[in-house]
């Protein structure tokens, strides 16, 4: 598919530029704006309002005022709004995909995949909205009755990252709507446009004013920091780096805020001697290169049995060398730019450190000349365990390969990280697969697959990769409180 400048302009023109508070799009109180850049060219795409402290306060007040009525809205009404949003986003798939490709850099085909994934949270939670259950039972002594009911936790602050601009927003907004929570959304300031357009879709579909408020800001600490300490707020759901997550957990302590944290990862990708190597390479392409490697679920360390490491490395190199690097909206592009120059320098520093410590480069490893923040698909082999690249999130299209000789050694290497989001393993031995599921310290495990993300599965990590789950039945629980009602024996 190819796009003209007029196509790009038409899509950019759909995006509102203001803050969205109490159902109104308006300028920020200080009238400041900030620019949003195309990472493939470094050029400005559009400017949006830069929310101030006062805008943050107004957004929370709007969410607070809308909360009671919204929680009382019939679940079916909330469900049908989500269903309508699913239909609308799906119908606008090309527009959303173009917008994400422009502001984030991912290839158009991948952006279409994200639209499908992001929209699916709207459909999934439209189905969950009417399935929030309590229970009623008799106490063991036969006297009192126990009733348990669920209710919306209350106004939620949602903070999202730049790497999946639509899906990270819908993964939070959809369960919050389903549960009856109002929201203040603070999207990443590198990619605010997609959230702005999505909020417009919900507005057009009749979402009551104040239920969703959107404040983009270049000063998150000043704008959202006070909200976290404000007793009108009842919930914080954050997706982003472990470093920022840790700080927000600490800030949340002052009012013992309910928190959900989807943080960083350092996924091991294990290939055993009995694996189907072609399938493992196929899985590796997905796990490594989806989103140019800029995914929390990206395979960060390839841990391959010594007897198949050479074959795996060669086949992966052959596949990765065939990829076309280019702007996401360019025809046939498979690998877009990284999000910004700082990110590219970070990836390159990890590659340099590995080279300095003795790793061999099979492919890539050099920053190309020209505009945009492109980094080539890169394969490193014989990577010593002391390399920074094995302990840091790479967030780029770089595959470091190291080897193991026994299953115990592979598990030790895989668990040797403070992160615990996801692991992948390829083996034909089902018992081994089950042993790994029990022994790997992760919240998600891909067995003979390089992709686990699915709105019907509970997404989330253990250790320093986070708290709570998004998607699936668990996803709505994050926005619900449990209330226990003790009832005197009704028979006496």
Q: How far is CA 13 from the centre of its chain?
A: 26
Q: Is 347 in the site for ligand NAD (CB under 6 A)?
A: no
Q: Is 421 in the site for ligand NAD (CB under 6 A)?
A: yes
Q: Is 478 in the site for ligand NAD (CB under 6 A)?
A: no
Which of 290, 313, 397, 390 lies closest to 348, judged by CA? 397
Nearer residue to ligand NAD within complex by CB, 265 or 400: 265
Q: How far apart are the first and last CA of the chain?
A: 74
Nearer residue to ligand NAD within complex by CB, 222 or 306: 222
Q: Both tokens of residue 289?
A: 């290169």
Q: Is 266 in the site for ligand NAD (CB under 6 A)?
A: no
- Position among 36, 81, 188, 394 found at the interface with ligand NAD (CB under 6 A): 188
Helix axes 5-13 and 93-104, enclosed angle (nearest 10) = 100
* Options 110, 120, 262, 407, the catalytic residue: 262
Laid out side by side, the sheet with 378-381 consists of: 360-363, 378-381, 398-404, 299-305, 267-271, 422-426, 444-447
Quote the least distance from Cβ 220 to ligand NAD, whole Å: 3
* Options 103, 114, 296, 387, the catalytic residue: 296
Quote the least distance from Cβ 80 to ligand NAD, whole Å: 28
Nearer residue to ligand NAD within complex by CB, 216 or 403: 216
At residue 452's C-alpha, the angle toward residues 362 and 198, to 5°, is 105
Nearer residue to ligand NAD within complex by CB, 283 or 396: 396
Residue 292 buriedness (CB in 10 A; 0-12 / 13-18 / 19+): buried
Q: Is 313 in the site for ligand NAD (CB under 6 A)?
A: no
Size of interface with ligand NAD, in residues (CB under 6 A): 28
Q: Both tokens of residue 479?
A: 């926005």
Which of 303, 280, 289 lies closest to 400, judged by CA? 303
Contact partners, residue 112, CB within 8 Å, separation at least 6: 93, 94, 97
Q: How far apart are CA 458 and CA 421, in angstroms?
A: 12
- The length of the chain is 492
Per CB under 6 A, the segment of 6-14, 154-162, 327-335, 365-373 that binds ligand NAD is: 154-162
Nearer residue to ligand NAD within complex by CB, 49 or 224: 224
Q: Is 477 in the site for ligand NAD (CB under 6 A)?
A: no
Q: How far is CA 376 from the centre of its chain?
A: 23
- Position among 18, 107, 265, 365 found at the interface with ligand NAD (CB under 6 A): 265
Per CB under 6 A, the segment of 71-79, 263-271, 431-439, 479-487 that binds ligand NAD is: 263-271
Residues 36-65 that bind ligand NAD (CB under 6 A): none
- Position among 110, 128, 203, 393 found at the interface with ligand NAD (CB under 6 A): 393
Quote the least distance from Cβ 355 to ligand NAD, whole Å: 24
Nearer residue to ligand NAD within complex by CB, 84 or 174: 174
In the DSSP assignment, the letter for residue 144 is S
Helix axes 108-128 and 167-179, enclosed angle (nearest 10) = 10
Indicate which residues carry an active-site annotation.
262, 296
* Site of interaction with ligand NAD (CB under 6 A): 159-164, 168, 186, 188-189, 220-221, 224-225, 239-241, 244, 247, 262-265, 296, 393, 421, 461, 466
């Amino acid at each position: 598919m190819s796009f003209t400048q007029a196509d790009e302009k038409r899509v950019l023109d759909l995006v509102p530029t203001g803050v969205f508070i109490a159902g109104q799009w308006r300028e920020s109180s200080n009238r400041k704006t900030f620019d949003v850049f195309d990472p493939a060219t470094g050029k400005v795409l559009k400017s949006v309002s830069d929310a101030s402290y006062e805008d943050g306060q107004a957004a929370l007040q709007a969410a607070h005022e809308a909360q009671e009525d919204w929680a009382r809205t019939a679940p079916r009404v909330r469900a049908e709004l989500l269903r309508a949003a699913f239909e609308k986003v799906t119908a606008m798939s090309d527009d959303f995909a173009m917008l994400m490709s422009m502001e984030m850099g991912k290839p158009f085909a991948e952006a279409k995949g994200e639209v499908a994934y992001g929209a699916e949270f709207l459909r999934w939670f439209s189905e969950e909205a009417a399935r929030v259950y309590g229970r009623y039972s008799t106490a063991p002594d036969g006297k009192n009755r126990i009733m348990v009911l669920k209710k919306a936790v209350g106004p939620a602050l949602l903070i999202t990252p730049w790497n999946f601009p639509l899906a990270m927003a819908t993964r939070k907004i959809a369960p919050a709507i389903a549960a009856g929570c109002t929201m203040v959304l603070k999207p990443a300031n590198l990619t605010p446009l997609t959230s702005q357009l999505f909020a417009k879709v919900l507005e057009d579909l009749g979402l009551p004013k104040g239920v969703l408020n959107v404040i983009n800001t270049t000063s998150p600490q000043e704008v959202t920091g006070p909200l976290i300490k404000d007793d009108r707020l009842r919930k914080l759901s954050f997706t982003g780096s472990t470093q920022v997550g840790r700080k927000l957990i600490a800030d949340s302590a002052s009012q013992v805020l309910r928190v959900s944290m989807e943080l960083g990862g350092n996924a091991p990708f294990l290939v055993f001697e009995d694996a189907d190597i072609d399938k493992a390479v196929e899985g590796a392409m997905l796990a490594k290169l989806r989103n140019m490697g800029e995914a929390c679920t990206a395979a960060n360390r390839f841990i391959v049995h010594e007897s198949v490491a050479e074959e795996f490395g060669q086949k992966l190199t052959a596949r990765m060398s065939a990829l076309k690097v280019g702007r996401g909206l360019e025809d046939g592009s498979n690998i877009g730019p990284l999000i910004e120059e700082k990110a590219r320098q970070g990836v390159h520093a990890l590659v340099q450190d590995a080279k300095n410590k003795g790793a061999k480069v099979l492919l890539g490893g050099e920053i190309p000349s020209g505009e945009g923040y492109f980094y080539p698909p890169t394969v490193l082999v014989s990577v010593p365990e002391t390399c920074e690249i094995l302990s840091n999130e790479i967030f780029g299209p770089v595959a470091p390969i190291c080897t193991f000789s026994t299953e115990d050694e592979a598990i030790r290497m895989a668990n040797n990280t403070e992160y615990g989001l996801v692991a992948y393993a390829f083996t034909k031995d089902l018992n081994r697969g089950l042993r790994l599921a029990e022994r790997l310290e992760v919240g998600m495990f891909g067995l003979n697959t390089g992709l686990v993300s699915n709105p019907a599965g509970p997404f989330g990590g253990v250790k320093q990769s986070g708290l709570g789950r998004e998607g699936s039945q668990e996803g709505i629980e994050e926005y619900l409180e449990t209330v226990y009602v003790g009832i005197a024996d009704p028979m006496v």
